[in-house]
Structure 1
Amino acid sequence: MTLTRRRFLTLAGAACAATRLTAGTPVAVWRGTALGAGAQVVLSGLSEDEAKPIFRAIEAEMSRIEGLFSLYRSDSALLRLNRDGMLRAPDPDMLALLSLAREMYRATEGAFDPTVQPLFDVHAKAAAVGRAAWPDEIAAAQGLVGFHRVSMDESSVRLGRAGMALTLNGIAQGYATDRLSRLMRRQGLRDVMVNAGEIRAMGHLHGHGWPVRLPSGRSLIVTDRAVATSDAAGTLISASLAVGHIFAPNGGAVLRSGPISALHDSAAVADAASTAAVVLPDDRLNLLEKVGVDLVRA
């Protein structure tokens, strides 16, 4: 069972950006897919014709990222790791993302944990036949959770127990956003909005930053910052059973109700932080502030 990840954030009025800019300021918009859902890159100061080579570079980079982190492609590095329990000679970006995931796992005291995939699987399989997961199934899956059992170096990534599996859906969209942002900088672009699941705003639109609309309808003006939003009820494995796509790694936490957004210089950090914020109680949200994350009740 696969789920298309819901996009919580939008560039306010992105579809009309071209008409809102002055006649002397062209804008080019790339639209495609990223890790299972729609994606967008808005380039201020370039015409569509001028942007064609950049669009091709974006598509090549997204294809490469999908080949690493996708749960939808049977040949992705992530699915091979989950299938075999080991990934030999991992791509540097795989190591970089998993290293950042480990940092966020430690910083959040385990609230952010990519090894919750067995919990997703057991609930998804039960929902597919119209029932709730049984307690013994949940307990067995819970025993496979724990990012401290994942080891990695340049030679391999290894899952410490048979049956363990990773999901990178709580950080890979942000990582993809960061990679595309770096690509835009290398192209010499400064006024850009990237949305590969989470948003990173670079430079300005109209000289006043980029307007990002939160699920509540409230807009933030963002400049050189990333925004990510998570919601336990945003994507449901089973609507009738009210089972969402975010799971508490320790099995006992009550998930936060409603969306919450995280802002950080890195979209990957913001992505992981917003996921952790759904799990963390109010009195432990300061763990995220310690790594430079600003939270907004979305």
Structure 2
Amino acid sequence: MRLPLSRRRFLLMSAAACAATQVTAATPTAIWRGQALGTRADVQLVGLDREEAAPVFRAVEAELARIDTLFSLYRTDSAIMRLNREGSLPDAPPDMLALLTLTRSVYHVTEGAFDPTVQPIFALHAEAAAAGRAVDADALLEARRRVGFDQVSFDATSVRFDRPGMAMTLNGIAQGFATDRLATLLKDSGLRDVMVNAGEIRGMGNGGDAKGWPVRLPGGRVCRLENCAVATSALFGTRLDPVRQVSHIFDPSGKDVTLRTAPVTAFHESAAIADAASTAAVVMTDRQLALLKRLDVDLEL
């Protein structure tokens, strides 16, 4: 049920700032740039030149290609698209089940504010926007009946929807997951001073200058990451329907709540958790924001 638009994360961080690490002239830094789950990605390795980094970057590309087969909404053969189409996956890939396990934890901590089963609502709005019309109220009500991560069942080998017509998008956590997977791959390769940006940013080591990896945040402030990840979400970072001011982020509860319009930035050692937390925070109340401390998430509003 892939549509011309997918639910996209909005990162207000400057890619140029990510690339502008302060390393000494004597310190080689190899840089790779490419694509990850439909967004621009880059990896920086301190201490390697381009030739030394070539086999590492080939492994990075292979890992991203593998992750794309799991979570991409752009390809009909991805695991998530097969799940959305068929309603179940009896042979779900282990990494998909691992991400669903993490998703379930965030879903419960956020009292359902982070819920990837909002895809039917997203799809309905995307179809209406493509046709140049507003969403039908009855159709929207029906789509909301198919939302609820508590209606997703999975075990060590399989996943299924417990209600007909359900669908998921993991775009609110998958880019962070990809960043974490690349960071693990690089660490297992013996690299300790790296920066990974697969849609969300994670820095390991000190960036080559003992000051951390610089990342420009909304408003222009530059933070420096040392063994930490950062993710930013904004309600209108991406508009499904610019004419009707329909955002790409939806409140799963369906209640008449006021969503945050200012960017929300989340910090955590895991890019996946930072990714999900920043997405959820857009639709969370002030009381609920305090719940993110249970995940050891630091927020900047």
The separation in 2 between residues aligned to 1:211 and 1:12, in whole angstroms, is 10
Residue identity matched to 1:9:
M
Residue in structure 1 matched with residue 295 of structure 2 by the alignment:
291
The 1:16/1:296 distance shift into structure 2, 3 A limit, reads closer
Give the total of aligned pairs: 295
Q: Which residue of 2 aligns with 1:236?
A: 239
Aligned to 2:283: 279
Q: Please, what is the CA RMSD of the aligned residues?
A: 1.2
8 Å Cα contact 1:12/1:219 also seen in 2: no
Give aligned-pair identity as a percent. Answer: 57
User: Which of 204, 209, 213 is the aligned partner of 1:210?
Assistant: 213
Look up the match of 1:88: 90
Secondary structure at 2:295 match in 1 = coil
Question: Which one of the candidate residues 138, 141, 154 is aligned to 2:140?
Answer: 138
Question: Contact (CA 8 Å) 1:89, 1:154: kept in 2 or not?
Answer: no
Structure 2, gaps ≥5 residues long: none
| Residue of structure 2 in register with 1:97 after alignment | 99
* 1:190-226: CA deviation from partner (whole Å, max 9, x where unpaired): 1111000100010012111111111221111111011
How far, CA to CA, are the matches of 2:87 and 2:169 in structure 1?
13
Structure 2 residue 228 is matched with structure 1 residue 225: yes
Q: Pairwise mapping of residues 95-174 of structure 1 onto structure 2 (< 5 A)?
A: 95-174=97-176
- Return the letter of the residue paired with 2:225: V
Pair 126,231 (structure 1): closer, same or farther in 2 beyond 3 Å: same
Q: Which amino acid aligns with 1:155?
A: T
CA distance in 2, matches of 1:46, 1:170: 32
Q: Greater relative contact order: 1 or 2 (C-alpha under 8 angstroms, separation 6 or more)? A: 2
After TM superposition, the score normalised by the length of structure 1 is 0.96
The answer (yes or no) to whether the contact 2:18–2:216 under 8 Å persists in 1 is no
Q: Deviations over 1:20-79 (max 9, x none)?
A: 522210011110101111101111111011100000000000000000011111110000
Name the aligned partner's letter for residue 141 of structure 1: A
Alpha-carbon distance in 2 for matches of 1:7, 1:14: 12
User: Helix, strand or coil for the counterpart of 1:237?
Assistant: strand
The aligned residue for residue 41 of structure 1 is 43
State the distance in 2 between where 1:292 and 1:13 align. Answer: 26
8 Å contact from structure 2 (residues 172, 275) kept in 1: yes
Among candidates 29, 32, 40, match of residue 31 of structure 2? 29
Following superposition, the deviation at residue 123 of structure 1 comes to: 0.6
Q: Could you tell me the TM-score, scaled by structure 2's length?
A: 0.95
Q: Residues of 1 paired with 2:270 and 2:19: CA distance?
A: 25
CA contact (8 A) 1:203 1:209 kept: yes
